[in-house]
Every structure is written in structure tokens, then in C-alpha cells.
Amino acid sequence: MARYTRIAGSIALITLKNPPVNALSAAVRQGITDSVGRALSDPEVEAVVLCGEDGKFCGGADIKEFARPMTGPGLVPMIDAIEAGEKPVVAAIEGVALGGGLELALACHYRIAHYKARLGLPEVTLGLIPAAGGTQRLPRLIGVPAALDLITTGRHVSAHEALKLGIVDRVTDRNTLELAVEFAKSVSGQPLAPRRLSTRQPSCPTDLDSFLEGAMLRVRQRARGAIAPVACVQAVRAAATLPFSQGMEQEKELMASLFTSAQARAMQYCFFSQRTVGRWSMPSGARWDNSKAQPIHKAAVIGLGTMGRGIAVSLVQAGIPVVAVEMETKQLEVAKHAVTSILEREAQKRGKEPKLGLIHFSIDLQDLREVDLVIEAVFEDMALKKQVFRELSSVCRPNAFLCTNTSSLDVNQLAAATRMPELVVGMHFFAPAHVMKLLEVVYGPRSSPVAVATAMQLGKRLGKVSVAVGNCHGFVGNRMLMPYMEQSVFLLEEGATPEQVDQALEEFGFPMGVFRVSDLSGLDVGWKVRKGLGLTGPGVAPGESARIRQGRRYCPLPDLLCKQGRLGQKTGKGWYLYDKPGGRVAKSDPWLHNFLEEYRSQHGLQAHPVSQQEVLERCLYSLINEGFRILEDGIAAGPEDIDTIYVFGYGWPPHRGGPMFHAGAVGLPTVLEKLEHYSQAHPDIPQLQPSSLLRRLVTAGSPPIHKWREVVKTVHSQL
Ligand SMILES: CC/C=C\C=C\CC(=O)SCCNC(=O)CCNC(=O)[C@H](O)C(C)(C)COP(=O)(O)OP(=O)(O)OC[C@H]1O[C@@H](n2cnc3c(N)ncnc32)[C@H](O)[C@@H]1OP(=O)(O)O
């Protein structure tokens, strides 16, 4: 709803009231419409101030209403009525003005923002365009190039940037409402026509056509198949080339095609999933709302390789004092230089001073005596990590939390090396750790709820999307990646090329195919893991066939490349060829194609054409199948957790919702049928055998994804 009050004699104050973000629900739209009508018709009212309750202007349209039939007044007529009114309306923006919230503010004649406010049109991130006039008014206010940037990226801007761009008229560190009321009084009676954005001409680059063509090209490349960013460019083109009313018509048509699209549904599911994972739970019954996080006043990072440096930077940027530890002076100096330059570069990007005073570099573990939490980020080696944990356990305060940054190692084994195993959790960061949004918080059987709550809370402070997961090899993300990667190399044995597999995956929407990713991260990473698992190297039983391990199909191709020193970009060759070691541009490598042919003939393998469909089905459905097993095992609390991990950490295209959402969208019976088909064709690949949870879900009539947890619960209760 909206509250109407009269203040300072002649000012009508309309306050949006719909916690937690004052979203524009039907009741709020009705309240605004009624209040604006009342203010305009009251002769004693000279001007109107519009604000949001509880220091938040407005978080936009109520996304929860999108799935229901529309009721109440429309957003567009409500907004148009404000702009057309004969009394000045001033938006007093605190907190956020996002999406429909900013569109509402753009219809006001003046905008005053608190310096901490954030503004933006993030509709594109929900698979939509700003269709309450946002695509038509913003270009008329700040020009086509700046508006196009904000609308196609959906990025939020600070109040100061909004002032520079011309979105707001004033920024204040005072009481925004008081200033807005003073301001409203001062502009009362002044002509309103120049303040109505719908009547303005947008400022366009002189070479508008080539500018828009270039923008469309860039947006298509970045969009990876998403349709909303393309529609954003089309709508802004309409603003630049058509009168306002025709632009509004185009905006409406474009929105109509997006609103009910599968992509919009997927992206809105991602939005809510990201919030769902914050309400974490553990099989023990510990949950986000019954477990209290401890405050972290000071932290430490042990091991300043690539991961440790990124983690230290994240902590400092979040304002947390850090002790950064390396084992030797020389390594410490190199790391110190690297961390300092990242901090300086990042601060410069944000127009701030680097918080260099917050970090203390040391080679002395005794410096950890005062810290509340340690993140160990040494080399991925169990014996080494155990040694570090033993030392930490004797040096740190008894109640200090000990976290390991590991991508697959057993958190429980590390916990066992300490005096307080309940204070040990995994914090699986993704490289580069100060950039990537995902954090897997891994609890072992002995991790206490308070340790999990503290790590989750810390993740939030670092600006991460944190997902609590159980302890198993590879946790959620990497465990699901294993069958996916295995299928990709099996497909090479059967006749595909890395180029074909990558192209299929990139057309699906991944930023990079599996082989290009492997070249980027280094083939030796997986080689080491496979050695650890006894799949290659000295751990393999003598006489075991090259293509069978532990009774199932194995592909030695990645190991063979590693043995030849083809480790990917760093050695200038891997699955592709690069112009030099460290080169970034992947080229097809005739050597590799010959090598694959020789390999197939050596092993008596008949190459056959592999279709794009087969690549996608085998790679993606094997990954999804593992996701079902993870749910069954209770490693992830729900499909939203898995999907959030994949969207934020593994490049899964958000417009496809995540792997589990995708399975639901394709249809669970189809996924099951395809897995059965491939499993029969390849009985030596157990990962293709459909999981029992998938079968159960299909038997239960393939319920919608938000009901899967109930089916998982019945599985667990029967165990
Ligand atoms: C013809 C026109 C038809 C449609 C027009 C659509 C235009 C639009 O306006 S689309 C919506 C655009 N707005 C957004 O995309 C903003 C989304 N929200 C956010 O980015 C954030 O929530 C935030 C506003 C920046 C606040 O962040 P934070 O303080 O971290 O809180 P959260 O945990 O994210 O959110 C708290 C709580 O509020 C719910 N929520 C947030 N925004 C909306 C919304 N627009 N509609 C409905 N609900 C919203 C969110 O889900 C959380 O709910 P929980 O139940 O607590 O999980």
C-alpha cells in the first residue's frame, strides 16, 4: 500500500509501504494511484514528495506477482499520470530505486538521492526489459549510450554515479526526506513541461546506426543466447528513432514476448534460488535461523598462491583485518607485491583508497594467536594440509574457526587433525577468489552449526553467494563436473573433436566449452586428482587395461597429453594450440587431430559422426544425473543449491536456470529416457545409469522443481 500524509503545510507525502523492499505490488500501485489523484485534486497541495518506508525507495515490480494473473492498476498508466500531473513530484530516493522503482522515479519531475542509494534497471537479469517507460525515458534523460549500458547490463549505480550521469538532480548525506520537502517547496509553481522526460529528445551519437549496430553485435556476443539483452537494444533503438508514444508501443510489444518466455522464468527462478540458498540447512536439523554466527574481527590466510592472494584481497576489501602468511620470506615478498597491486588496482576501479593498512604479511605462525578465523589455502595435498591444520590447532585460540580452501579434499580428515574438529569447515572459493561470486561452504559430519553459520555469514560479508553443502569428493560443483568431463573425452574416443564438443556447449550458452576451460585451468589439475584417486600413475594395478579403471570405462587421453607436456595455455598447447606459452587465443591443432586418429586406431575404436545433440545430452544429462545423486545423498539441500552453484561458479547460462531447472524444463521423463538409452549403449559407464531419485520423480508424475524436496524427504525417511 501507500500512505498519504500532508506535511509542511502544502506538501503531500506519499510513502510506499511494502516490506522488505517496497516492491510495486497491486496494493502499492493502487495506493500510489489513489494518493497521486488525491494530491493533484487537493487545491491546498502545491507539490508532492514520493518516498519509500524504512529507508528503501523501491525495489521495483513485485517479482512474486509475475507468476499470477495481473490485478490492480497497471504500472504504465500509474507512472504516466505522475509525469502528466500539474504539480511537481519529487522522488526522495533512499536505499534502492531499481527496475519499476527507478521507472517510477523517472516519471517524477525531480529526483533527490541519499549518497548511499543504489539505482538501476536490472530487468535484463530477470529476462525482461524495463517496460514501464524505462527504455524510453532513460535515454531521453542521460543519452542513448549511457542508457544502453545501464539497460543492457542491468548494473546498479551509486548515487554519485547517478548524479554524474544526470539521473538524479541532487545527492545528499542529510535527511533525504527533509531535503526533498524543502526542494519541493522551492520548485512549486515552476514550469513542469521541461521536466517531463517523455517530451524530450534523446541525445544520440552522430553515427547512430553504426553505434547501435556495434552495440547489438557486442550484446549478442555477451548474451550467449539470452534474448532479453537483444530486446533491450531494440527498445533503446526505438527510443532513439521514434516519437515517445511509438517507442512505448515497441517497448510493450518486446516485453509481451519476453514476459511469458522460458528464459524469463529461468532467470526469475535464479533470482529466488539465490535467496533460497541463504536459508541453509544441514541434515542434523541445524539451520540458518537456529544457528548463530560468531563475529569475525580478524582473519588469517595461510598460503599465498593464486587462491590465497584472492581470498586475502576479498577479506581486506570487506574491511576485515588479515594476517597473510607464507612459509618463506622470498615467497612472502612475491605474494606481498602481488596482493598489494591487486588491492591498488581494485581500489582504483572503485575510485577508493586501497585498504593496505588492513593486511599484515608474515612468515610467523605465532602471528595467528589473535585471529578469529583462519582460511588455509596451501597446495591441494592432504598430507600438507593436515600438517598445517595440526600446527594451526596448537597456535590459534581454542575457539578460532579453521577453514580449508579445497576443491575436493575430505574436510573430515582435516578436522580430525585438530583439537576442535567442530570448528573446521571447508570454504571452497573459485579463482580468481576476489572476483568470482560463488563460495561452497562445506560441512563435515563434525562441523558445528555455529561454524557453518559463521562461514556463511563471512561469505555474505565478502559479497559472495554462499551455498552450504555436505562433504564428499568434489562437493557439489566438482563432483558433478566429473561425469561431464568424462563424457567429453569419451566423445573424443568415439569420433568427436574438441572443437565440436566446445562449439555445442558454447552454443548452449557456456562462456567456454569444456576443452577450452581445461586448457585455461591447466590439464595437470585433473591429472593430479586422477593420480590421487589411483586412476593413473603409480597407483594403477599392474596389467590393468588402459581404458578400464576400477571396473569401468576410462579415457587416458588427458593423461597422455599431460605426459607430453601439453598442459594447456601455460605450455602453449593442450587440446588446442596457442601462439606461445601463456597465449590466450586457441587455434585448432592438426597434431591433436592426428593424435586422436592414431589413438583410436591403436585401441581399435571406430570413429563415428557425433551430433551436437549427442554432445549436449551426454555431457549435460550425465552432469544432471549426478546432481540427482547429490540430492539423494543429502549433499545439497535442494535443487536451488545446485543450480546456484552452477550459475555462479561454473558458467551455466542463467537464462537456462541451472542444470536441475534445465532438467525440469526439458522434462524429467525425457532426461530419464535419454539416460536409459545412452546407458544401454554404454553399459561400462555407470554415470549414465539413471539415478533412483530421477526415476522416483518421474514415477511421482514429474512434479515442479519446488516440490522436489518433498520427494527427496520421502527417500531419506525410507533409508
Ligand atoms: C509492465 C511492467 C511489468 C513488469 C515490470 C517489471 C519491472 C521490474 O521492476 S522487475 C523487478 C526489478 N527489480 C529488481 O530486479 C530488484 C530485485 N531485488 C534486488 O536486487 C534485491 O532484493 C535488493 C532490492 C537490492 C535488496 O537486496 P538485499 O537487501 O540483499 O535483500 P534480498 O535478500 O535480496 O531481498 C529481501 C527479500 O525481498 C525480496 N525481494 C527483493 N526484491 C523484490 C521484488 N522486486 N519483488 C518481490 N520480492 C522482492 C527477496 O526475494 C527477499 O525475499 P525473501 O523472502 O526474504 O527471500
Residue with CA at minimum distance from ligand 1 atom 56: 275
Establish whether residue 75 lines the binding site of ligand 1, counting it when its CB lies within 6 angstroms of any ligand atom.
Answer: yes
pLDDT at 350: 85
More confident residue, 657 or 718: 657
How high is the mean pLDDT of the chain? 96
pLDDT at 236: 98
Distance 378 CA to ligand 1 centre (A): 39
Establish whether residue 131 lines the binding site of ligand 1, counting it when its CB lies within 6 angstroms of any ligand atom.
Answer: yes
Establish whether residue 59 lines the binding site of ligand 1, counting it when its CB lies within 6 angstroms of any ligand atom.
Answer: yes
Residue with CA at minimum distance from ligand 1 atom 46: 62
Answer yes or no: is pLDDT of 718 > 80. no
Which residues have C-beta within 8 Å of that of residue 234, sequence separation ≥ 6? Answer: 250, 254
Amino acid occupying residue 457: Q
pLDDT band for position 408 (cuts 50, 70, 90)? confident
User: Which helix (DSSP H) or strand (DSSP E) does residue 494 occupy?
Assistant: helix 477-494
Class of 612-717 in CATH: mainly alpha
Residue with CA at minimum distance from ligand 1 atom 5: 61
Residues with a catalytic annotation lie at 103, 123
pLDDT at 550: 86
Answer yes or no: is pLDDT of 288 > 80. yes
pLDDT at 717: 78
Distance 116 CA to ligand 1 centre (A): 18
| Whole-angstrom distance, CA of residue 538 vs CA of residue 278 | 43
Distance 295 CA to ligand 1 centre (A): 27
* Domain definitions of the chain by residue range: 2-259, 299-475, 496-602, 612-717
pLDDT at 138: 98
Establish whether residue 99 lines the binding site of ligand 1, counting it when its CB lies within 6 angstroms of any ligand atom.
Answer: yes
Establish whether residue 127 lines the binding site of ligand 1, counting it when its CB lies within 6 angstroms of any ligand atom.
Answer: no
What would the pLDDT profile of 572-585 be if each residue is shown by its tens digit? 999 999 999 999 99
Answer yes or no: is pLDDT of 81 > 70. yes
Distance 101 CA to ligand 1 centre (A): 10
E strand spans, 458-557: 465-470, 548-549, 552-553
Distance 59 CA to ligand 1 centre (A): 5
Q: Return the CATH number of the domain spanning residue range 2-259.
A: 3.90.226.10
Mean pLDDT within 556-570: 97
Distance 60 CA to ligand 1 centre (A): 7
Mean pLDDT within 107-129: 98
pLDDT at 719: 65
- Of ligand 1's atoms, which has the minimum distance to the CA of residue 276? 57
Mean pLDDT within 423-440: 96
Answer yes or no: is pLDDT of 329 > 80. yes
Query: Structure pTM?
Result: 0.96
Share of the chain above pLDDT 70, in %: 100
Establish whether residue 258 lines the binding site of ligand 1, counting it when its CB lies within 6 angstroms of any ligand atom.
Answer: no
Establish whether residue 132 lines the binding site of ligand 1, counting it when its CB lies within 6 angstroms of any ligand atom.
Answer: yes
Residue with CA at minimum distance from ligand 1 atom 16: 59
Fold topology of 496-602:
N-(1-d-carboxylethyl)-l-norvaline Dehydrogenase; domain 2 (1.10.1040)
Establish whether residue 100 lines the binding site of ligand 1, counting it when its CB lies within 6 angstroms of any ligand atom.
Answer: yes
CATH ID of 299-475, from 1.20.58.760, 3.40.640.10, 3.30.70.1560, 3.40.50.720: 3.40.50.720
Answer yes or no: is pLDDT of 310 > 70. yes
Residue 655: left if φ>0, alpha if ψ -120 to 50, beta else—which one? Answer: alpha
496-602 and 612-717 have identical folds:
yes
Q: Whose CA is closest to 447, among 418, 479, 408, 409?
A: 418
Q: How many helices (H) and strands (E) does the chain have?
A: 28, 19
Which residues have C-beta within 8 Å of that of residue 383, sequence separation ≥ 6? Answer: none
Mean pLDDT within 195-220: 97
What would the pLDDT profile of 119-167 be if each residue is shown by its tens digit? 999 999 999 999 999 999 999 999 999 999 999 999 999 999 999 999 9
Residue with CA at minimum distance from ligand 1 atom 23: 59
